[in-house]
Amino acid sequence: MNETVDKDAWLWIRDVMRSWLEDPGVEEHQGLNMSALSMDQAYIVGVTDRDVGVYAVSDDCFRCPFELQKNLSPETEGWWVVNTAKRSTWRVYSDATENYTSARNTSGLLCQLRPNLGEFGVYTLNTTGEGCTIRTTREPVDIYMPLLLLLGVLLAAWVLYGMMRLIMSRVRRSAKLRYGDKELAIQQRLRALDTFRGIAIVFMIFVNDGAGGYWWLEHATWNGLAAGDLVFPAFLWIMGVCIPLSVKSAFAKGVPRWKIVFHIVRRSVMMFLLGISLNTIYGSNMLVELRIFGVLQRLAVAYLVSAGFYALTAPKYYTPPRGACGQALKDVLSCAWCWVLAGVLIAVHSAITLIIHDPDCPAGYLGPGGKHDEWVAPECSGGAAGYIDRLLLGDSHLYQHSDARNVYGGPVTDPEGLLGCLTSAVQALLGVQAGATVLLQRSHKARVSRWLAWALVFALAGALLAGFSREHGVVPINKNLWSMSFVLVTSAVSLAILSICYTFTDAWRLWGGGPFRAPGLNAIALYIGHSICAHLFPFHWKVPLMRTHAIRLIEAVWGTALWVIIAHIMAKKKVFITL
Cα angle 522, 528, 531 (rounded to 5 degrees) comes to 135
Distance between CA 271 and CA 268 in Å, rounded? 5
Catalytic residue among 219, 357, 372, 530: 219
The rounded mean pLDDT for the chain is: 89
Name the residue among 83, 91, 143, 139 with its Cα closest to residue 112: 91
Distance between CA 238 and CA 254 in Å, rounded? 25
| pLDDT at residue number 15 | 63
538 preceded by cis ω (within 30°)? Answer: yes
Distance between CA 386 and CA 388 in Å, rounded? 6
Name the residue among 521, 512, 513 with its Cα closest to residue 575: 521
Segment 173-193 shows an average pLDDT of 53
Predicted confidence (pLDDT) per residue in 438-451, tens digit: 999 889 999 999 99
pLDDT band at 174 (very low <50, low <70, confident <90, very high): very low
Order of strands across the sheet that contains 122-126: 78-83, 41-47, 122-126, 133-138
Distance between CA 475 and CA 346 in Å, rounded? 13
Distance between CA 384 and CA 353 in Å, rounded? 5
Distance between CA 115 and CA 122 in Å, rounded? 12
The CA-atom distances, in angstroms, between 358 and each of 324, 370, 379 are 52, 15, 9
**Residue 37 pLDDT exceeds 80:** yes
β-strands 41-47, 122-126: how paired? parallel
* Cα dihedral 504, 507, 513, 518 in deg (nearest 10): 160
**Residue 171 pLDDT exceeds 50:** no
Reply yes or no on whether 472 is catalytic: no
Contact 219, 228 (CB under 8 A): yes
Predicted confidence (pLDDT) per residue in 507-564, tens digit: 998 888 889 999 999 999 999 999 999 889 999 898 887 889 999 999 999 999 999 9
| pLDDT at residue number 185 | 39
Domains, the chain, in order of start with CATH, read 2-138 (2.60.40), 174-572 (no CATH)
